[in-house]
Amino acid sequence: MLVGCQQSPVVAGSATLAVFGALVLYFAEPSEYGKHRSSQASGGTCLPACVAWFLQELPSFAVPAAVLARQPASLFGEPETVLLGLFCAHYFHRTFIYSLLTRGRPYPAAIAFKGILFCIGNGFLQAYYLSYCAEYPEEWYTDMRFSLGIFLFLLGMGINIHSDYILRQLRKPGEITYRIPQGGLFTYVSGANFLGEIIEWMGFALATWSLPALAFAFFSLCFLGIRAFHHHRFYLKMFEDYPKSRKALIPFIF
């Protein structure tokens, strides 16, 4: 079946993502999982972290991968499919590697459920746009936006994976204690993994030059930026010897 591009769902989906980002900034409340799960919320049903992250992130991989698999073979190697492939690669790692390695505390089922809905929506939006709406000129691979965007995407992904690795090493399997992260970009900021992920999605927005990717980068900046700030505040409260020069998200600045 041939699917054509409908601009209105693309604009509506992107606007919804941006509004979600703005709401996160407006309410500025910590998302109640991990170190910000309040004791009042502790009665709710929880899932093992690996199960929750696997289920939550799976749609972000499966939906675009299914759309990609339906593309005609003639489009393989074109910028649209390569860029969608990169999106799938990020979520392949998050779903099948990060989830299975995590040493996180049990995760609230209600948040995992909302996360699943979010990942279905975002996965579909990015996949639909890149598969049915995006049109790139032949010289896109040599365009500065593509080159710089891919560089930032890979740099951010490297920072994100390395920082999540540092966090994982702070615990033995089965432990749920918090320690001060050291090394890598944690030397400069409390939210090093978040900084990496934000750089990654900004790079993706640049390389795709698309409204949905820009909206997702904006959402990630709001959601992860505020989370980095909440983590920083948590560390300052919890550890008297927390490094004074360390910032929340942006080295030397904030």
Binding site for ligand NDX (CB under 6 A): 20, 23-24, 31, 34-35, 49, 56, 102-105, 111, 114-115, 118-119, 160, 164, 167, 170-171, 176, 178-179, 181, 193-194, 197, 220, 223-224, 227
Nearer to ligand NDX, 11 or 176 (CB): 176
Which amino acid, residue 19?
A: V
Nearer to ligand NDX, 21 or 79 (CB): 21
Is 195 in contact with 217 (CB distance < 8 Å)?
Answer: no
Q: Tokens standing for 171?
A: 């615990």
> Which of 163, 152, 158, 156 has its CA nearest to residue 192?
163
Residues in the chain: 254
CB of 23 to ligand NDX, least distance (A): 5
CB of 231 to ligand NDX, least distance (A): 6
Nearer to ligand NDX, 140 or 159 (CB): 159
CB of 33 to ligand NDX, least distance (A): 6
CB of 90 to ligand NDX, least distance (A): 9
CB of 123 to ligand NDX, least distance (A): 11
Is 209 in contact with 9 (CB distance < 8 Å)?
Answer: no
- Containing 71, the helix (H) or strand (E) segment is none
Nearer to ligand NDX, 87 or 140 (CB): 87
CB of 16 to ligand NDX, least distance (A): 9
Nearer to ligand NDX, 3 or 89 (CB): 89
Nearer to ligand NDX, 12 or 23 (CB): 23
Distance CA 91, CA 85 (A): 10
DSSP string, 145-180: HHHHHHHHHHHHHHHHHHHHHHHHHTS-TT------
Distance CA 49, CA 65 (A): 24
Nearer to ligand NDX, 22 or 66 (CB): 22
CB of 138 to ligand NDX, least distance (A): 31
Is 190 in contact with 224 (CB distance < 8 Å)?
Answer: no
Tell me if residue 141 falls in helix, strand or coil. helix
Sign of the torsion formed by the C-alpha atoms of 150, 98, 26 and 127: positive
Distance CA 242, CA 254 (A): 16
Which amino acid, residue 14?
A: S
